[in-house]
Copies of this chain bind each other. A is one copy, B any other.
Amino acid sequence: MSEFDAATAVHRVAEGRYRADLDPGFAFGGVINGGYLMALLTKAAHDASPFPHPISTATTFLRAGRGGPAEITVETLRAGRSVATLRLAVVQEGRTLLDATMTTGTLTAGAAAGWAGAAPAMPALDECSTPARRPGGDSFADRVELRFDTSTLGWLDGRPIGRPEMRGWFRLPGHEPDAAVLALAVDALPPVVLNLGVKGWAPTVELTWHMRGVPAPGWLAMHAGGRLFSDGWFDEEVEIWDSAGRLVAQSRQIARAGRG
């Protein structure tokens, strides 16, 4: 079992109830990463649903999670012949951290697209930069492999590029991409508004992501953009492309920023 599978393991304790242990290694400043929580949802759904793939997951983040025990609840809203709809929640110390509605189905590995948009441009892996890791570190950056498109790293040197963009390559050590990895990946990049010079915490309020294909082994390309930052709210769209050049996941989140 990979480190990631161990960190996102869920244990069925009753019909529609799963126990998990939120891994503080997937936190920023003590707050558990939203993508990690969404990865837990895919694990619970994989057990609870008759269909393997989380085609659509709409997640509302209600409260910040911390490392430690949590419970995942799953209720089937409707089970059809080819799709099932579940409502899920992650609860910690009696408080709901997030509430999600998921539609599961079956995607065909290697399906040929009827139509596909062009993949956004991305520099080759060896032209991208690796964030510094601390020896023996135990944070999000130590659990995943991220290589950034340096043209979107201006914010890091106090020179935000003036556009809500962020790009990078992503993989997990010893774990090929699957639905749980895609759930993690769609929320793994720093907020795009860092490149608008917006500082401080940018809490996600809602994130909907769609699994669009069964990912091929290898690195994932992550492209994040946005359309509007206004009135303290911004949207962020992420596309995940696999090593075979297929769009395998897409997300949009709405988040708050600029409130000091």
Q: Which residues of A contact B (CB under 8 A)?
A: 55-56, 58, 60, 62-63, 77-78, 83, 85, 87, 96, 99, 101, 103, 105, 107-108, 111-117, 162-164, 196, 198, 205-206, 208, 210, 212-213, 226-231, 233, 235, 239, 247, 250, 252, 254, 258
* Residue picked from A63, A114, A116, A208, most chain B C-beta under 10 Å: A114
The answer to whether residues A228 and B205 also contact, given A62-B77, A114-B198, A196-B114 and a CB cut-off of 8 A, is: no
Contact A114 B208 (CB under 8 A): no
The answer to whether residues A78 and B62 also contact, given A114-B230, A206-B56 and a CB cut-off of 8 A, is: yes
Contact B247 A56 (CB under 8 A): no
Complex: how many Å from CA A228 to CA B111?
A: 12
Contact A254 B55 (CB under 8 A): yes
A183 to chain B, nearest CB (A): 15
Selected A-B contacts with CB under 8 Å, 13 pairs: A56-B206, A58-B58, A58-B60, A60-B103, A62-B85, A101-B101, A108-B231, A113-B230, A114-B229, A116-B228, A117-B227, A210-B252, A210-B254
Complex: how many Å from CA A116 to CA B163?
A: 9
The answer to whether residues A231 and B107 also contact, given A60-B101, A99-B77, A205-B56 and a CB cut-off of 8 A, is: yes
- A sample of 5 more A-B contacts (CB under 8 A), given A77-B96, A227-B239, is A83-B205, A105-B233, A210-B252, A213-B231, A228-B250
